[in-house]
Amino acid sequence: MSAPASSSAVSAAVAEFALRMGDSCLILGHRNSEWCGHAPALEEDIALANTALDLIGQTQLWLGLACEAEGKGRTPDNLAFLRDVSGYRNLLLVEQPNGDFGRTLMRQYLFDAWHLPLLKALIGSADRRIAEIAEKASKEVAYHLERSADLVVRLGDGTAESHARMQAAVDFLWPYTGEMFLADAVDDELASAGLAPEPGLLKAAWQVHVGTTFAEATLKAPEKSFVQKGGRRGVHSEHLGYILAEMQFLQRAYPGASW
């Protein structure tokens, strides 16, 4: 344990952490919502919308905490609709285009398998606000993981085509998974204050889950892969700009209006 940080430094770290969580939830929820009305079966259309709704709900909680911790009088909507790409802190994984439904599900699975253990660890956070959000979100995310893992197995072990599509999804998305386990100064500070787990500590559980699921799904993780990173410090792929252009259109076109 390092020396206790000043309370304003802790607040800044909490705000940054809440932004990272909220932004990943928001962008993934947004991506999933793009499927609404276009999914391969009505039952899936409804199920994916449920996941998206959960994630948007979690976004509101995390961004609410970010606003509170930063204390600048901003609202979650200000954060969501008025920050540019460089202000966003989400993982690169979640901003990747949907691709086919298989890639969307694989992205969801790779995220869920990280998200759930993280939330479970956060239930023990020294910050009660973080712990409460994690408690609520973990119930939702446990179901997300159950469903996404199930579908990955079924499609991996389905037809030759579904297998090939799921394998292609793994290969495409894998480089974006490493970022989940990288730590920076903010993470170090959060970990030393007992606010959030060290990102690297989540890797083993994630690998076990993914390994088990892929074995059942007859899918292979790439043996070698580079790590794409930068999302959590505001350096994104080109895709995020388009997401924000669409998402923020009304707030940008009619500044200051209430909706």
Partner 1 sequence: MYAQMVKTEAKRVRSLDEMEPQERAFQQRIDAGQKIEPKEWMPEDYRKTLIRQISQHAHSEIVGQLPEGNWITRAPTLERKAILLAKVQDEAGHGLYLYCAAETLGISRDQMYEQLHSGKAKYSSIFNYPTLSWADIGAIGWLVDGAAIMNQVPLQRCSYGPYARAMVRICKEESFHQRQGFDIMTVLSKGTPEQKAMAQDALDRWWWPSLMMFGPSDDASVHSAQSMAWNIKQDSNDELRQKFVDQTVPQATYLGLTVPDPALKWNEAKGGHDFGEPDWTEFFAVIAGEGPCNRERLEARRKAWNDGAWFRDGLTAHAGKQAARRQASRIAAE
Partner 2 sequence: MSSEWPLWEVFIRGQHGLNHRHVGSLHAPDAEMAILNARDVYTRRNEGVSIWVVRSADIVASAPSDKGPLFDPANAKVYRHPTFFDVPDEVGHM
Q: Where along the sequence are the contacts to partner 1 (CB under 8 A)?
A: 26, 30, 33-34, 36-46, 49-50, 52-53, 56-57, 59-60, 63, 76-77, 80-81, 100-102, 151, 153-155, 157-159, 161-163, 165, 246-247, 249-251, 254, 256-259
Q: Whose Cβ is closer to partner 2: residue 51's or residue 90's?
A: 51
DSSP 75-120: -HHHHHHH--GGG----HHHHS---SHHHHHHHHHHHHHHHHHHHH
* Residues 184-203 interacting with partner 2 (rule: CB under 8 A): none
Selected from 3, 43, 73, 255, the binder of partner 2 by CB under 8 A is: 43
Instruction: Please state whether 55 falls in left (phi above 0), alpha (psi between -120 and 50) or beta.
Output: alpha
Contact call for residue 53 and partner 2 (CB under 8 A): yes
Nearer to partner 2, 68 or 150 (CB): 150
d(CA 240, CA 237): 6
CA proximity to 257, closest of 249, 61, 85 = 249
- C-alpha distance from residue 205 to each of 8, 114, 144, 201, 210 (Å): 33, 8, 17, 8, 9
**Sites for partner 2 among residues 122-141 (CB under 8 A):** 136, 139-140
Given partner 1, partner 2, none, residue 143, with its beta carbon under 5 to 8 Å by kind, binds partner 2
Q: Is 12 in the site for partner 2 (CB under 8 A)?
A: no
Token code pair at residue 125: 């956070």
**Cα–Cα distance measured from residue 222 to residue 174, given in angstroms and rounded to the nearest whole number:** 7
Instruction: Kindly state whether residue 46 participates in binding partner 2, applying the rule CB under 8 A.
Output: yes
State yes or no: residue 42 binds partner 2 (CB under 8 A): yes
Q: How many CA atoms lie within 13 A of 61 on its CB side?
A: 18
Q: Which span (3-11, 49-57, 76-84, 173-181) binds partner 2, by CB under 8 A?
A: 49-57
What is the C-alpha to C-alpha distance for residues 256 and 82, in angstroms, rounded to an integer? 11
Q: Which does 127 bind (CB under 5 to 8 A by kind): partner 1, partner 2, none?
A: none
Residue from the set 11, 33, 50, 248 that interacts with partner 2 by CB under 8 A:
50
Our finding on whether 162 is near partner 2 (CB under 8 A) is no
d(CA 186, CA 172): 29
Residue whose C-alpha is closest to residue 195's, from 23, 17, 25: 17
Which segment (144-152, 189-197, 209-217, 224-232) binds partner 2 by CB under 8 A? 144-152
- How would you class 4 by CB atoms within 10 Å of its CB: exposed for 0-12, middle for 13-18, buried for 19 or more? exposed
20 contact, one of partner 2, partner 1, none, CB 5-8 Å limit per kind: none
216 sits near partner 2 (criterion: CB under 8 A):
no
Binding site for partner 2 (CB under 8 A): 41-43, 46-47, 50, 53-54, 57, 136, 139-140, 143, 146-147, 150, 154
